[in-house]
Amino acid sequence: METMNELITAFPQNITDALAIAAKVNLTTPENPVHNIVVCGMGGSGIGGKLVAQWVQNECPVPVLSFQDYHLPAFVGKNTLVIGSSYSGNTEETLIAVEEAHGRGAHIIGVTSGGLLEKFCSEKGYDCVIVPGGNPPRTAVGFSIVQLTSILIKLNLADEKLLGEIESGRKLILAELDGIHAEAKKIAEFLRGKVPAVYAGANYEAVAVRAKQQFNENSKELCWQHVIPEMNHNELVGWGGGDDRFGALFLQTGDLTMRNQRRFDISVELVSARTKNVYIAHAKGNTQIERSLYLIHLVDWASLYLSDLKDGDPIEIRVIDYLKDEMSKL
């Protein structure tokens, strides 16, 4: 297995490889009109669905739900497109949700490197996009975001320009690589010995969740995330006592609406009055997708550098393996 350093380095190349895979995919047209979309996936596979749902929500004519559980909501039926995204293809929540979708007559598409999800799709005659396997699922986010976006484009549910924006995000990362590494090291130093709290505008919630997941899995740290404006209505009060155990990492994207930007600035001011541990990371890029990819790569590196500062093993996730093993005995 490659090192986490090599796997994070490969993110831009993964996007290129993923675009080549997507270009060759032919999809069956759904029998019924699609009235809603549910992307089922957990953890490192689920985050791709969360990201893409946010990227398409301003233009997609139907709602897109990123779903992380076994049993689907009641609205899922023959007018639902259900995408099962599981890197290993063996995640039980995703498999059970997809089987349930099959029972309700939904149009199903798999995204996986193989496993039981591929088997299920081939047995039942559903399209299944195969991505290269063998790595930790969280390092395959470049593959899932491209395949999910491409599926929605091919089914006329998203604009073709989105893949172009992913490609320009890839180029942006390569152009900004030195700056990304320098800032990621600073973020890791800042977070050393603290519990990170990641904040972003609501339209970047998936990016903040990605940051949390990477600090959890790569850095072995507890972490939480919240978004503006909702955090103004509750969490801000929680900073009231002032607390230096935590490090507030604000993701400044520069594209919030005027009122949300003002909320962001006031939130930084209020949190800064209660702790000295505030860091503002500025995204680069001209579109939401470019800025998201930039921030994803930045926090991926920050999570690895934080692990290095603690002499940790960024790859191992023994507790997840143990839990999956125990569950398989039921």
Given 119, 185, 310, 324, which residue is catalytic?
Answer: 324
What is the rounded distance in angstroms from the CA atom of residue 196 to the CA atom of residue 7? 23
Q: Is residue 285 near ligand F6R by the rule CB under 6 A?
A: no
The beta strand positions in the chain, using DSSP E, are 36-40, 64-67, 80-86, 107-112, 127-130, 195-201, 224-228, 246-252, 278-282
Contact, 261 vs 229, CB < 8 A? Answer: no
Is the Cβ of residue 59 or residue 316 nearer to ligand F6R in the bound state? 316
Active site annotation includes 217: yes
Q: How far is the CB of 245 from ligand F6R (least distance, A)?
A: 26
Q: Is residue 142 near ligand F6R by the rule CB under 6 A?
A: no
- 244 CB-contact burial (10 Å; exposed 0-12 / middle 13-18 / buried 19+): exposed
- H-state helical runs in 202-287: 205-217, 235-238, 258-272
Question: Residue type for 299, please?
Answer: V
Radius of gyration of the CA atoms of the chain, in A:
20
Q: Is residue 317 near ligand F6R by the rule CB under 6 A?
A: yes
Q: Is residue 184 near ligand F6R by the rule CB under 6 A?
A: no
Active site annotation includes 324: yes
Binds ligand F6R by CB under 6 A, chosen from 11, 55, 67, 87 = 87
Is the Cβ of residue 137 or residue 247 nearer to ligand F6R in the bound state? 137
Is the Cβ of residue 92 or residue 243 nearer to ligand F6R in the bound state? 92
Given 93, 118, 205, 217, which residue is catalytic?
Answer: 217
What is the rounded distance in angstroms from the CA atom of residue 99 to the CA atom of residue 40? 11
| Residues across the chain | 330
Q: Is residue 210 near ligand F6R by the rule CB under 6 A?
A: no
- 125 CB-contact burial (10 Å; exposed 0-12 / middle 13-18 / buried 19+): exposed
Token pair of 157, please?
A: 């549910």
Question: Residue type for 119, please?
Answer: K
Q: Any bridge partners for residue 127, and if so which?
A: 109
Q: How far is the CB of 79 from ligand F6R (least distance, A)?
A: 26
Q: How far is the CB of 91 from ligand F6R (least distance, A)?
A: 3
Given 24, 123, 233, 276, which residue is catalytic?
Answer: 233
Is the Cβ of residue 66 or residue 203 nearer to ligand F6R in the bound state? 66
Q: Is residue 217 near ligand F6R by the rule CB under 6 A?
A: yes
What is the rounded distance in angstroms from the CA atom of residue 265 to the CA atom of residue 243? 20
Token pair of 99, please?
A: 């089987």
Q: How far is the CB of 228 from ligand F6R (least distance, A)?
A: 26
The piece of 70-78, 83-91, 202-210, 284-292 that touches ligand F6R (CB under 6 A) is 83-91
Active site annotation includes 99: no
Distance from the Cα of residue 90 to its chain's centroid: 19
Output the residue with the shortest Cβ distance to ligand F6R: 43
Q: State the binding string over 32-61 for ligand F6R (x if CB under 6 A, else -).
A: ----------xxxx----------------
Q: How far is the CB of 319 from ligand F6R (least distance, A)?
A: 11
> Which sequence positions are flagged as catalytic?
217, 233, 324
Binding site for ligand F6R (CB under 6 A): 42-45, 86-88, 91, 94, 136-138, 217, 317, 320
